[in-house]
């Protein structure tokens, strides 16, 4: 059964906040999104250029149309620009008994007011009492509670005030603006406080309020408890900020897709590498090219999500010589490779589309053959590695890959080095996919 969530909010033409953010969030949780647009804004990551408020009658008609035919499992409000819209929305939602999350949108990240000064009181008296949950950030909580919030205790007092004095069933005061190393959100529900903590991540924040409240709404629509919905939404928003969509010239928006794209890409990467590994194992005579330290074969997540070793899949325990064949020691796992993970992440800094690499033993004839075949071949000389890089654990491969790319001034298919004291000479074969790496390898061994 598909669940349905309704957003009663403004449209952001930049697609970062408002109903656009809400719908993307609903989709990320597999919930069907419904909309009642309250205002149309001409907006981008830098500014709000115009606001056109929809008539209260049309806002109401949108809500009634979807409730009466499709049904609503949970709803949220976002930008409710003026008193007339607020009153009309309050009167309408009162008729139905779906959970209502109220994001008290007041000011855009760019600084533009999205709630008329004279409508603040109406928001407090008409909408807040119908809220299952109110989700203010610090400035919004200050306006609602009427006092300054400087620390977690103040945030608790504000959450309690919003519930006990303004009449909401629950309130969560978001700590993203509290200036701590952790983003601490304080939920007040059923007379008790709960804290939700996440590391304060640098990233993209346009649309955080909308996406967080939409994530709670989607989870309520799916039948989760308020506490579970908040916990999931906190993880969702932390991920969305960290992997933010770096677009525009102002405040870049949250990336709601990260929530579903990362697990989906992880599966795709795992499956693709697994198939290629089976092909690799069946290549005749490959055992002759297995280095003493072993071989590995890796595939990284797409550039946007490839931040570190954990984002690169490789063979646990490497691939070793086994009689006249080769054998993977363990399974494919994310984080299983150290050296090749560093090599591919460095390569991707320059050529993000190249996400796979395999290492084989150095062989002079293979290098000449690669050159004859028209492969782009480059090298680095470990004896030229600067002392300060040598002294740093894990610095050699990134330095080597960068040096080889700079030397070639092009995208290498192969990078090799001739070794050093106690270091084996090696060839690295790069490709956009594991299949492309195998194709290159097969041509070399033909
Ligand atoms: C149409 C519309 N609705 C809401 C907002 C607020 O979004 P944002 O500016 O990112 O602020 P947060 O609420 O996320 O902190 C908007 N800009 N436009
Ligand atoms: C390329 C290379 N250099 C030293 S060991 C090695 C093989 C692969 O190592 P890892 O399994 O850490 O990626």
Per-residue pLDDT tens for 215-242? 999 999 999 999 999 999 999 999 999 9
Ligand 2 centre to CA of 258 (Å) is 29
Average confidence (pLDDT) over 248-275 = 98
The full DSSP string for 39-98 is EEEEE-SS-EEEEEEPPHHHHHHHHHHHHHHT--SEEEE----SHHHHHHHHHHHTTS-S
Residues 348 and 241 placed together within one structural domain of the fold: no
Write the residue with the smallest CA distance to atom 11 of ligand 2. Answer: 337
Which ipTM was obtained for this model?
0.92
Q: How do residues 18-44 score in pLDDT, each as one tens digit?
A: 999 999 999 999 999 999 999 999 999
Residues 227 and 337 placed together within one structural domain of the fold: no
Domain residues for the domain of 270 are 261-445
Tokens of 237: 């928003």
Would the pLDDT of 62 be above 80? yes
* Domain final residue pick, 256, 271, 287: 256
Would the pLDDT of 381 be above 80? yes
Residues 249 and 272 placed together within one structural domain of the fold: no
Tokens of 117: 């000064």
Residues 191 and 319 placed together within one structural domain of the fold: no
CA 348 to chain centre: 19
Give the domain CATH number at 123. Answer: 3.40.1190.20
Average confidence (pLDDT) over 409-424 = 93
Given this model, what pLDDT does residue 177 score?
58
Tokens of 114: 């999205």
Q: How do residues 122-156 score in pLDDT, each as one tens digit?
A: 999 999 999 999 999 999 999 999 999 999 999 99
Set 77, 122, 132, 208: catalytic member: 208
Q: Pocket residues for ligand 1 (CB within 6 Å)? A: 9-12, 17-18, 41, 43, 78-79, 105, 108-109, 114, 137, 206-210
Set 176, 210, 396, 431: catalytic member: 210
Ligand 2 centre to CA of 388 (Å) is 21
Please give the tally of structural domains in the chain: 2
Q: Answer whether 208's CB lies under 8 Å from 251's CB.
A: no
* Domain final residue pick, 256, 287, 312: 256
Given this model, what pLDDT does residue 109 score?
87
Set 175, 209, 244, 314: catalytic member: 209
Q: Are strands 377-379 and 414-417 parallel, antiparallel or unpaired?
A: parallel
Residues 298 and 419 placed together within one structural domain of the fold: yes
Residues 309 and 164 placed together within one structural domain of the fold: no
Residues 80 and 123 placed together within one structural domain of the fold: yes
Percentage of residues in the chain having pLDDT higher than 90? 91
The number of beta carbons lying within 10 Å of the beta carbon of residue 268 is 14
Write the residue with the smallest CA distance to atom 7 of ligand 2. Answer: 295
What are the phi and psi torsion angles at 354 (to 5°)? -90, 105
Given this model, what pLDDT does residue 178 score?
62
d(CA 389, CA 410): 24
Q: Pocket residues for ligand 2 (CB within 6 Å)? A: 293-294, 296, 314, 318, 337-341, 359, 426
Give the domain CATH number at 361. Answer: 3.40.225.10
Given this model, what pLDDT does residue 176 score?
62
Average confidence (pLDDT) over 434-438 = 98
Given this model, what pLDDT does residue 129 score?
97
Residues 242 and 297 placed together within one structural domain of the fold: no
Q: Is 205 a catalytic residue?
A: yes
Q: What is the pTM of this model?
A: 0.94
* Domain final residue pick, 256, 289, 323: 256
Show Cβ contacts of residue 52 under 8 Å, excluding neighbours closer than 6 positions: 39, 40, 41
Q: How do residues 190-214 score in pLDDT, each as one tens digit?
A: 999 999 998 888 999 999 999 999 9
Average confidence (pLDDT) over 275-288 = 97
Q: Is 207 a catalytic residue?
A: yes
Residues 47 and 30 placed together within one structural domain of the fold: yes
The number of beta carbons lying within 10 Å of the beta carbon of residue 188 is 26
Residues 332 and 213 placed together within one structural domain of the fold: no
Average confidence (pLDDT) over 425-440 = 98
Residues 193 and 317 placed together within one structural domain of the fold: no
Residues 71 and 106 placed together within one structural domain of the fold: yes
Residue whose tokens read 């009427």:
146
Q: Is 223 a catalytic residue?
A: no
Mean pLDDT rounded to a whole number for the chain: 96
């Amino acid at each position: 059964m598909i669940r349905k969530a309704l957003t009663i909010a403004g449209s952001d033409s930049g697609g970062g906040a408002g109903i656009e953010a809400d719908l993307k969030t609903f989709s990320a949780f597999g919930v069907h999104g419904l909309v009642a647009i309250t205002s149309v804004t001409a907006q981008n990551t830098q500014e709000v250029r115009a606001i056109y408020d929809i008539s209260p009658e049309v806002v109401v008609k949108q809500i009634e149309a979807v409730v009466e035919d499709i049904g609503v499992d949970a709803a949220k409000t976002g930008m409710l620009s003026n008193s007339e819209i607020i009153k009309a929305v309050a009167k309408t939602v009162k008729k139905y008994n779906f959970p209502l999350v109220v994001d008290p949108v007041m000011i855009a990240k760019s600084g533009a007011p999205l709630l008329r000064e004279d409508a603040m009181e109406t928001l407090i008296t008409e909408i807040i009492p119908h809220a299952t949950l109110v989700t203010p950030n610090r400035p919004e909580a200050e306006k609602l509670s009427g006092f300054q919030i400087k620390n977690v205790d103040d945030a608790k007092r504000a959450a309690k005030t919003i519930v006990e004095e303004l009449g909401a069933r629950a309130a969560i005061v978001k700590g993203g603006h509290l200036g701590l190393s952790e983003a601490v959100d304080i939920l007040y529900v059923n007379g008790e406080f709960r804290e939700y903590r996440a590391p304060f991540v640098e990233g993209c924040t346009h649309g955080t309020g909308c996406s967080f409240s939409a994530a709670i709404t989607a989870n309520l629509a799916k039948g989760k408890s308020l506490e579970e919905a908040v916990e999931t939404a906190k993880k969702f928003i932390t991920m969305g900020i960290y992997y933010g969509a770096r677009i525009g010239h102002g405040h870049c928006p949250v990336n709601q897709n990260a929530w579903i794209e990362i697990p989906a890409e992880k599966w795709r990467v795992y499956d693709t590498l697994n198939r290629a590994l089976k092909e690799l194992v069946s290549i005749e005579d490959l055992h002759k090219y297995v280095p003493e330290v072993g071989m590995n074969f890796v595939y990284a997540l797409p550039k946007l999500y490839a931040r570190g070793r954990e984002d690169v899949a490789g063979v646990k325990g490497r691939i070793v010589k086994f009689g006249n064949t080769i054998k993977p020691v363990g399974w494919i796992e994310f984080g299983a490779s150290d050296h090749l993970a560093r090599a591919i992440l460095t390569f991707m800094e320059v050529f993000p589309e190249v996400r796979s690499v395999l290492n084989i033993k150095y062989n002079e004839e293979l290098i000449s053959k690669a050159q004859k075949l028209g492969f782009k071949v480059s090298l680095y000389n470990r004896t030229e590695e600067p002392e300060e890089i040598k002294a740093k654990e894990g610095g050699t491969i990134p330095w080597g890959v960068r040096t080889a790319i700079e030397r070639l001034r092009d995208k290498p298919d192969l990078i090799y080095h001739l070794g050093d004291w106690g270091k084996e000479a090696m060839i690295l074969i790069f490709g956009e996919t594991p299949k492309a790496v195998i194709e290159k390898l097969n041509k070399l061994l033909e």
